[in-house]
Amino acid sequence: MRRALMLAQRAADDGEVPVGALVVLDDEVIGEGWNRPIASHDPTAHAEIIALRAGAQVQRNYRLSTATLYATLEPCAMCMGAVLNARLARIVFGAWDPKAGACGSVIDLPREPRLTHRLDVFQLSAEHCDALCDIGALCHVHGRRAECPPGTDRIRCLGPEGRRLRQRD
């Protein structure tokens, strides 16, 4: 997640919304990205999409079924669609996105019963984010605390590893 935060800072330095993402397979980063829709004039140039594209190129396969996506912000519906199409095994994110989040904030695509793919979704606990990011750099980058949205009693804390939100069926 530290690398994802560095990528988010790069996006911020470029005047973009500060989001960074990594795709990790077998403990190796195979794709990374930061938000670039403004500079690239591309509404799909979200950090997660860029990281997924890079990872798919490295693997020479659009299916990344054992990979993990690490993102500083809860993915939006577009990015979750790409994650589901790539068949990722899990997502780990830092801060909730109450405006556009698609892992439980606004909509919950990983738990949509009509979709065929299931994946694990984790949100880092605020305490873990604070320790990992030098006392809240993630919260500073995204301008809000990395905590659960109100009324999410379905979340079980797994200690310093974060909060496990969804488990594959």
Residues recognised as catalytic: 48
Q: What's the token pair of residue 155?
A: 């979340």
Q: For 155, list phi and psi in degrees, rounded to 5.
A: -85, 130
Radius of gyration of the chain from Cα atoms? 15
Angle at 57 between CA 11 and CA 21, to 5 degrees: 30
| Residue 26 burial (CB count, 10 A) | 7
Q: How would you label 148-157 residue by residue, b for 16+ Cβ within 10 Å and e otherwise?
A: beeeeeeeee
Could you identify the residue written with the tokens 């990528």? 7
